[in-house]
Structure 1
Amino acid sequence: MSTCAIPQPLTHQPHVIVVGTGLAGLSAATQLTKHNVPVILLDRAEKPGGNSMKASSGINGAGTKFQSVPDTVEEFYNDTVRSAGKPYATAENIDRERRDKLIELVTKSSKDAVAWLSDDTGIDLSKVAQLGGHSKPRTHRGAKGKPPGAAIVGTLLDSLKANPFAEMKMKARVTKVLKESEEVVGVEYVDAEESTHSIRGPVIFASGGFAGDVHGMVNKYRPDLAGIPSTNEAREGSQPLLSEIGARLVDMEHIQVHPTGFLDQKGPSATVKFLAAEALRGEGGILLLDNGTRFVNELETREFITDAVWKSATKLEGDGDIRQWDVMLLLDEGAAAALDTHMQFYLWKGLLQKTTLGEIGETALETVQEYADIVAGKKADPYGRVAFGNWMLSEPQADSVVYVGKVTPVLHFTMGGVLFNEEAQVLDEQGQPIRGLWAAGEVTGGLHGQNRLGGSSLLECAVFGRIAGDQAAAFWKDHYLTAGEQ
């Protein structure tokens, strides 16, 4: 028998409410505490960190002190526009202007975002790699230690847990956005015991995307992607909650399929996969078909490589309606050494195996010999690759040590979400800001178009999360702080 729970009254001073504890939410909360504004973070998960905790390739920055290859904001901007593709190219008038402002802001702010995390927060981001779709190496991660997502999120979490202005509630699923007289004034959420609570205050949504909701929102907007595994848990997005109070949704059909999710041989038909970080290819790794040949420039955009897999690779037979393809990821010892922390984890999980070229086969040996000649400059790559990371194997032999793993395309990121502006304000159907409501990270739409560059997810979270925090802090002080406390 079910009963209708009665929302419990607010028992403390209104906070700024942040929905989500990934990097966008943590960045917003960190900024709020710097303004001495009380913040409460709500997350439906059991543990904080969101998908940001799993980010493995790094955060983009143009013109940073860590880059040895000259890079500019303009080059980063151009790469982002090119990656965004049709939604940007065909946009008209205000839509084109809005998209342009978002891309301009996130690329221009990338240097400061890296400096904030490295200089102000003390996170090592000194290792720089070139990922697919980028014209320059600009994706930052630590030289050793934890992967970048875990390092960044863990550091911010520790800081917030010790901050008296911050409070965090896990297993708190937001079920309704409260709106009065055209202003968002709080949320309702359900706790682990299914009790309903209400909290009053301005709201920042940083609740992520919906790439794991394959039978719900993915099926609604992209039924053609049915059966493709995901890197995300099966949770629906918060976009419907926001559209219910007037937020406009954009680009919802643009769902990114990442070309390399690990096919774990212990559970090859698992619907949730570990991501094979793009840095594996950025540091020199190559992709092979089941016949041992290369078929694509491994540093093209995610969308381009995924299309190449679908056109060239053998489709695997699987359980039920799961759709997977037979592709091998191969690294030499140079590329592996540049990815020490990643490699330790992947080898421990059995996702990568140490082997020799002779054990893989004669055709693979010939392919690697040709690739080594390309790296050495003896010939041009027929697929157009010009950057090779830390690949060092120059004279491949049958006994040459390599690392290999099976990979397949996976649903990874949703480019669509609530329409927002450069002040992180959520916009309504007329393009006007909804008072008292901001958003940052994957819950938003309009920035990435039809394809997101690797390394720009953490970047947008840091940039727009901090902006949302600053904006909400000013709003809270103007509208919620009593005169006697000012």
Structure 2
Amino acid sequence: MTTQAPKKPVIVVGSGLAGLSAAHEALRAGATVRMLDRAPKPGGNSIKASSGINGAGTRFQQSLGIAKDDSFYSDTVRSAGARFAESSPPVDRKALIEILTSQSESAVNWLADELNVDLSVVAQLGGHSVPRTHRGGGKLPPGAAIVSALLDALKANSNFSLENSADVVELLSGDGAVKGVSYQVADGQPHELEGPVVFAAGGFAGDAHGLLSKYRPDLAGIPSTNEARPASHGLLSAVRASFVDMDSVQIHPTGFVDPKDPGSAYKFLAAEALRGEGGILLSAEGKRFINELQTRDVVSAAIMALPHTTVEKTRQWEVTLLLDPGACEATTSHIGFYLWKGLVQKKKVRDLAPEVIASVDKYATLVSENGEDELGRKAFGHWKLPPGEANRDEEVCVGTVTPVVHFTMGGVTFDSQARVLRPKEGGGLVPIPGLWAAGEITGGIHGANRLGGSSLLECAVFGRIAGAEAAKSLTNA
């Protein structure tokens, strides 16, 4: 008799939505999955995602009367800006965006139908032509709801294992291919694991003194929604992976300034859904100054054109975010948490500064008359506050926000099969055998600016592709 060698697992590095999605598809294809994450708890940044996941053509959109949504691709291209036309390195941006947008409905259906995630609430975020960002109506934010459902499903499968506090220190390679990983756990001893690798370790927005300072030194001192940690990109560089758009770093326009710790370099994100559902932004003079539903880069630039302050070495712009009762009600799951954290307060309109009351009345008149906004806003969410004396005893939700370093659009180059690419002799890029990637570690999809709701989406779409392709490589070996 001959003994058969044990089947190699698909190795997934990172436990955010990209890694979890990859693991789910690899298991579906019959593979065993070993997931490694250096963090002590699973979920990555995905578990903190607060606005939702994009989907075009979903039944949830149709229930709102949106019979057809054929503008997601063009919205994404427009948001990517001039970067979409760049051809060096030769990344097929068009193909990546086509996959992202065309598979968005199936991604939402997968989460809703197979994993029973509530995604029935649909909002319109900045840069979107129609409402297409899905979240649930319960207390859990969308990222936590999605990650929790996937973790539960994976842990119920005996072919899946998750090891936290497992720091991958090297991609093992030979004959030009990636063969596995070397990693360390609490005992500090190196461990080696062989198998195809899906790399989903996240971006570098928390690497303030490393890659972030290298590619965007101008962002020094600006607070971040990312916890401080070194980037993992060097592991990919060591196997000659190519990178793209590394200086494309997204500044999210709204991170909360905590009254208890105003100078903190770490800020809680004020979800874009707060503006999408009707919230407005006011300057120190109490005036609206930007269409709140512009793309994130445009809104951030408008805020950063205002005077700023420096608090304990942190550069910030203190702008008021105000939601009327309708917008507060539509974002109950968010507002409840922000109130508990002390990041948002409820105030009666009559207790606001006179210049703020004037702006609230002006905006309320605009909405009630369905007028033309001089700043260009066309969708007003669930704002229902009337203008004038009728609103003075109504309570509004108010918080102070500032732009924050949030997301890195740049990362490793990859193709429509989620294969990581490296330069080849004579020019061009070729796949690195044995290595796939998905999520924020990758580049080439978002260009100069990412649309809200497309981070969870890219994790789901390309994570599933990566997991399926990695599993397939085992059967083809």
TM superposition score normalised by structure 2: 0.95
Aligned-partner Cα distance in 2 for 1:213–1:368: 39
Aligned-partner Cα distance in 2 for 1:205–1:169: 15
Q: Which residue pairs with 1:123 in the alignment?
A: 117
Aligned-partner Cα distance in 1 for 2:114–2:12: 22
Q: Secondary structure at the match of 2:100?
A: helix
Write out aligned runs for 1:176-255 (5 A).
176-255=170-249
Q: Which amino acid aligns with 2:124?
A: Q
> 1:113 pairs with 103, 107, 112, which one?
107
Q: Which amino acid aligns with 1:318?
A: V
Q: Are the equivalent residues in 1 in contact too, given 2:89–2:244 (CA < 8 A)?
A: no
Shift of residue 71 of structure 1?
6.2
Q: Deviations over 1:134-181 (max 9, x none)?
A: 010000000123110000000100111111110111001111111100
Q: Deviations over 1:414-451 (max 9, x none)?
A: 00000001100001023101001000000000000010
> 1:95 pairs with 87, 90, 98, which one?
90
Q: Which residue pairs with 2:337 in the alignment?
A: 345
Write out aligned runs for 1:277-288 (5 A).
277-288=271-282
Q: Deviations over 1:432-478 (max 9, x none)?
A: 01001000000000000010000000000000000001101110122
Aligned-partner Cα distance in 2 for 1:101–1:13: 33
Aligned-partner Cα distance in 2 for 1:374–1:181: 66
Shift of residue 291 of structure 1?
1.2
Q: Are the equivalent residues in 1 in contact too, given 2:360–2:387 (CA < 8 A)?
A: no
Q: Which residue pairs with 1:315 in the alignment?
A: 308
Q: Secondary structure at the match of 2:475?
A: helix
Q: Which residue pairs with 1:355 in the alignment?
A: 347
Shift of residue 69 of structure 1?
4.1
Aligned-partner Cα distance in 1 for 2:433–2:69: 32
Q: Are the equivalent residues in 1 in contact too, given 2:210–2:231 (CA < 8 A)?
A: no
Q: Which residue pairs with 1:166 in the alignment?
A: 160
Q: Which residue pairs with 2:471 in the alignment?
A: 473
Q: Which residue pairs with 1:157 in the alignment?
A: 151
Aligned-partner Cα distance in 1 for 2:236–2:127: 32
Aligned-partner Cα distance in 2 for 1:209–1:378: 41
Q: Which amino acid aligns with 2:90?
A: D
Give the 3 Å change call, closer, same or farther, for CA 358–433 of structure 1 in structure 2.
same
> 2:419 pairs with 425, 433, 436, which one?
425
Q: Which amino acid aligns with 2:309?
A: L
1:78 maps to 2:53: no
Aligned-partner Cα distance in 1 for 2:472–2:189: 32
Q: Which residue pairs with 1:482 in the alignment?
A: none
Q: Are the equivalent residues in 1 in contact too, given 2:205–2:224 (CA < 8 A)?
A: yes
Aligned-partner Cα distance in 2 for 1:256–1:309: 14
Q: Are the equivalent residues in 2 in contact too, given 1:60–1:455 (CA < 8 A)?
A: yes
1:383 maps to 2:375: yes
Shift of residue 12 of structure 1?
6.4
Q: Are the equivalent residues in 2 in contact too, given 1:247–1:427 (CA < 8 A)?
A: yes
Q: Are the equivalent residues in 2 in contact too, given 1:53–1:150 (CA < 8 A)?
A: yes
Aligned-partner Cα distance in 1 for 2:197–2:104: 25
Q: Secondary structure at the match of 1:445?
A: coil
Q: Are the equivalent residues in 2 in contact too, given 1:69–1:136 (CA < 8 A)?
A: no
Write out aligned runs for 1:37-52 (5 A).
37-52=31-46
Stretches of structure 1 lacking an aligned partner (at least 5 in a row): 1-10, 480-486
1:20 maps to 2:18: no
Q: Are the equivalent residues in 2 in contact too, given 1:71–1:136 (CA < 8 A)?
A: no
Moved more, 247-256 or 423-432: 423-432
Aligned-partner Cα distance in 2 for 1:371–1:286: 9
Aligned-partner Cα distance in 1 for 2:243–2:74: 25
Q: Secondary structure at the match of 1:287?
A: strand
Q: Are the equivalent residues in 1 in contact too, given 2:90–2:429 (CA < 8 A)?
A: no
Q: Are the equivalent residues in 1 in contact too, given 2:257–2:318 (CA < 8 A)?
A: no
Q: Are the equivalent residues in 2 in contact too, given 1:128–1:140 (CA < 8 A)?
A: yes
Aligned-partner Cα distance in 1 for 2:66–2:152: 34
Q: Secondary structure at the match of 1:224?
A: helix
Q: Percent of aligned pairs with the same residue?
A: 55
Q: Deviations over 1:321-377 (max 9, x none)?
A: x11011010001110111111111010001100002222211111101111112123
TM superposition score normalised by structure 1: 0.94
Q: Which residue pairs with 1:368 in the alignment?
A: 360
Shift of residue 73 of structure 1?
5.5
Root mean square deviation, CA, Å: 1.4
Aligned-partner Cα distance in 2 for 1:380–1:412: 32
Aligned-partner Cα distance in 1 for 2:225–2:155: 28
1:137 maps to 2:131: yes
Aligned-partner Cα distance in 1 for 2:463–2:254: 28
Aligned-partner Cα distance in 2 for 1:378–1:151: 35
Q: Which residue pairs with 2:49 in the alignment?
A: 55
Give the 3 Å change call, closer, same or farther, for CA 94–410 of structure 1 in structure 2.
closer
Q: Deviations over 1:243-292 (max 9, x none)?
A: 11011010000000000000011111111110000000000000011111
Q: Deviations over 1:78-128 (max 9, x none)?
A: 000000001113x249836x0000001100000000000001111100000
Q: Are the equivalent residues in 2 in contact too, given 1:126–1:143 (CA < 8 A)?
A: yes
Aligned-partner Cα distance in 1 for 2:57–2:196: 35
Aligned-partner Cα distance in 1 for 2:370–2:196: 61
Q: Are the equivalent residues in 2 in contact too, given 1:62–1:71 (CA < 8 A)?
A: no
Aligned-partner Cα distance in 1 for 2:456–2:136: 14
Q: Secondary structure at the match of 1:341?
A: helix
Give the 3 Å change call, closer, same or farther, for CA 72–254 of structure 1 in structure 2.
farther
Write out aligned runs for 1:293-312 (5 A).
293-312=287-306
Q: Which residue pairs with 1:445 in the alignment?
A: 443
Q: Which amino acid aligns with 1:95?
A: P
Counting matched residue pairs gives 465
